[in-house]
Amino acid sequence: MPNELSPQEIQKRRNQIVDCIDSQQLNQAIRLLSELAAQTPLVTLRERLEQVKMSYDFMLRYLSQGILDPQRDDVLNHIIGQLGTLTDQCVIALLERESPQVIYARRRELSGTSLSHLLAEYRTQVNKLTLLGSVEESQRDRAAMLQVMKTCEQAETTIFNKVWSTFPTPHGDAEIIAQFIADQTMPQPARCLAVMALFLGLMTFYDETKLILLIDTYTASNDAQVQLRAIISILLVMNSYRRRVEQSRVLRSHINAMTEVSTFADDVAMVMYRLISTRNTDRVTRQVTQDIMPDIIKASPELISKLRNRRAEIDPDVLEANPEWQKMLEDNGVASKMEQFSQLQQEGNDVFISTFSRLKTFPFFHTLSNWFLPYHSDHSVVQESFADDDHLLRDMVARAPFMCNSDRYSFCLTLRGIPESQRQLMRIQSQQQMDQLDEMKAEQVVEKLNLQRDTIATRCVQDLYRFFKLFSRRREFLPAMDSDMDFTGMPYLSAYTDAPETLMLIAEFYLKNEFDQDAVHYYTLLLGVQQHTDPIVLQKLGFAHERLGNIREALKQYKRYELANDEDLWTLRHIAGCYRVLHKPDKALEYYERIDQIKPGQVSNTLNMGHALLENGRTDEALQYYFKADLMDESKHRAWRPIAWCSFLLGNDERSLDYYNRIMDSGKATMSDHINRGHVHLCNHRVADAIADYRQALALTDHNAATLRESILEDLPHLQARGLSEQDIRLVIDATIQPSSSVE
């Protein structure tokens, strides 16, 4: 039967049916699906849909007759699952013949090949490679081994394509896949790829059999590489298909068995954190590319020139030991930027994506499965990138702590074009890095197991992030890494995804990186699940609200925290600040006075007491606090501006002008300083001096006349109180803005 619908129309129909299924408008879903199935050439799909329709009609008839059916929920969930699967099968039947999408290309390519046959051929090649490698190293036929190695790799790719593109997964194939993943005699990278093939298939069409295979793989495996790829995939899939998962009773028993694994709770918390951390990647990338690296690159020529003038070898170890050279690093700002970069690395941030994103154009990355391939030294790309004596470089790439698998392959491919002279320099640097890695390893023995699992998870998540952000055909899959990564309330797993220690870990991440809305969400959840909440949660929740501008809610949480700790200076300051924003300076003053009682003599608090008094209209009293602060703060003179302003408000123009002149002489005058000194001149009828100051202020706004006008008119009540009319003030503004005006 000819296809009468365009690919866009087919996708639109699919979305309509899925929406109806999700909202449980099943009669409408069946009607729309019947129309879609009528376009397909497959009679079996229409027959199966008719059976589903009959089951649903019977269920409704029993319900209308008041017949109790204790299994009704299970029947309904089965119907819903069948409707979802049939919808996807109709879409495949309509698109498979001609669609250029990668899944349909792979299905056409592999339609006549069974998974069991592919695996049998692969085993044969693996055994052949093992046999070739069993002889002594000096007698090995390297060319033959490399050829068989490439044959094995091609077979792994074919198996990957077969597993992910098969929908739905037949029961027989499911058993074969499970046995293959569990077979320790098979290469670990191939088994890891099989896990990721299950995941990728689920990112195309929901297949409960594939999800069960992932769950059972995590439960049964004792291989951290396999196990952690499985749990990462499980969380992403369950988050993407929450409603489908929630409606399945079959999944419950498999998930219950998975939760019995001893590392499960820790793995869920770790993986959630690593996945959520990807939301910070764009910010970190901007920081590295726009702030850190440009400054390092800018300073580098000058630094290298100075080092060459001293005829010194550019040796990092020597450089660090020489105080003069270290000072050069600090003076150039390089040391600070390198420290920032190192800190980002230590926190697990993905600092290299901007560098390696440009290295994903190699033909190697045209092969979809290679984006998920664990790095291993026996891969042909690695073998062909290093010379036999390149042990240092080879080890450095294999052990580099901050490079994911995908980036390691990019690095190896890049090495092929590097001249021998540069390779030699890299070998020297590699030795230094290897020594540092050995030191790090010695320090981390105690947490070796947890560190190893975290490293594996981090690299796998970074591989996934690169695939979903950089692969040319990424839009053909569900955008798993574009969600808000909120795994809370996960069906069957909420006891783990909503565990207090996990919520706290994630809330802290969001607060630190200024995802304040998300921080509010997690801290609020934390308050709901903990019976005896650490009061610090209230303080941090208040701070997140304050940064969002939710001042009343912030004040509420700060006040709750105050009940537990009424002498926390940080909180008292923020409570006072909230009262000032809410225009309650009298309440703010109460808190500043409490701070002064707890820790007297603080310049900043003395200034704040002055600000609160000024905002309350008690200008004389405010001025006394500013004088006091100025005596306490002789080096910084933070009180000069408020002293000058209060003096102006009180009519003491001589003192006001004196302090504004001091500010000008300091070389730190702002736009507001020039405007305020202009006010003093204007109130004393020195119009030319006023306009001169206003023009200097205008220059500091990059000649933005609207900004200047708005800033001057904000002070209109104070100027009018000094006897100036609004008309005169507006004329002065116009005279300021028009440079050609002659003002004598």
Q: Could you write out the three-class secondary structure of 192-231?
A: HHHHHHHHHHHCCCCCHHHHHHHHHHHHHCCCHHHHHHHH
Report the SS3 class of residue 295. helix
Residues 6+ apart with CB under 8 A from 22: 243
Residue 416, burial from CB neighbour count under 10 angstroms (0-12, 13-18, 19+): exposed
Q: Show the CA angle centred on residue 192, arms to residues 188 and 198, nearest 5°.
A: 150
- Half-sphere exposure (Cβ direction) of 460: Cα atoms closer than 13 Å: 28
Residue linked to tokens 């290093």: 386
Please identify which residue in the block is written with the tokens 């093939």.
197
CA gap 112, 105 in Å, rounded: 13
Q: Are 351 and 345 in contact (CB under 8 A)?
A: yes
Measured CA to CA, the distance from residue 482 to residue 480 in angstroms comes to 6
- The candidate with the shortest Cα–Cα distance to 675, out of 702, 645, 647, is 645
In whole angstroms, give the CA distance from residue 104 to residue 347: 41
Helices of type H across 516-584? 516-529, 536-548, 551-564, 569-581
Polymer length of the chain: 744
Helical (H) or strand (E) element with 525: helix 516-529
Nearest to 488 by CA among 272, 263, 246: 272
Calpha distance 631→308 (Å, rounded) = 50
Give the residue ranges of the chain where pLDDT is below 50: 1-2, 303, 307-308, 310-322, 325, 442-447, 740-744
For position 352, what pLDDT does the model report?
81
The angle formed by the CA atoms of residues 668, 670 and 674, to the nearest 5 degrees, is: 115
Residues 3-33 as b or e (16 or more Cβ within 10 Å = b): beeeeeebeebbebbbebbeeeebeebbebb
**Predicted pLDDT at 668:** 92
- Helix axis angle for 115-133 and 142-165, nearest 10°, is 160
3-state secondary structure of 387: coil
Task: Using CA atoms of 392, 394, 399, 404 in order, give the dihedral in degrees to the nearest 10.
Answer: 140
Contacts of 438 (CB under 8 A, 6+ apart): none
pLDDT in tens, 33-83: 999 999 998 999 999 999 999 999 999 998 999 888 888 888 999 999 999
Q: Output helix, strand, coil percentages for the chain, rounded to the nearest 5.
A: 75, 0, 25
HSE of 659, CA atoms in CB hemisphere, 13 A: 23
The CA distance from 518 to 507, in Å, is: 7
Distance spanning both ends of the chain, measured CA to CA:
91
CB of 506 within 8 A of CB of 269?
no
Query: Cis bond leading into 168, ω under 30°?
Result: yes
DSSP strands (E only) in 93-195: none
Residue 520 contacts residue 545 (beta carbons within 8 Å):
yes
CA-based R_g, the chain, Å: 34
User: Taking a C-beta distance cutoff of 8 angstroms, is the pair 32, 83 a contact?
Assistant: no
pLDDT confidence of residue 305: 55
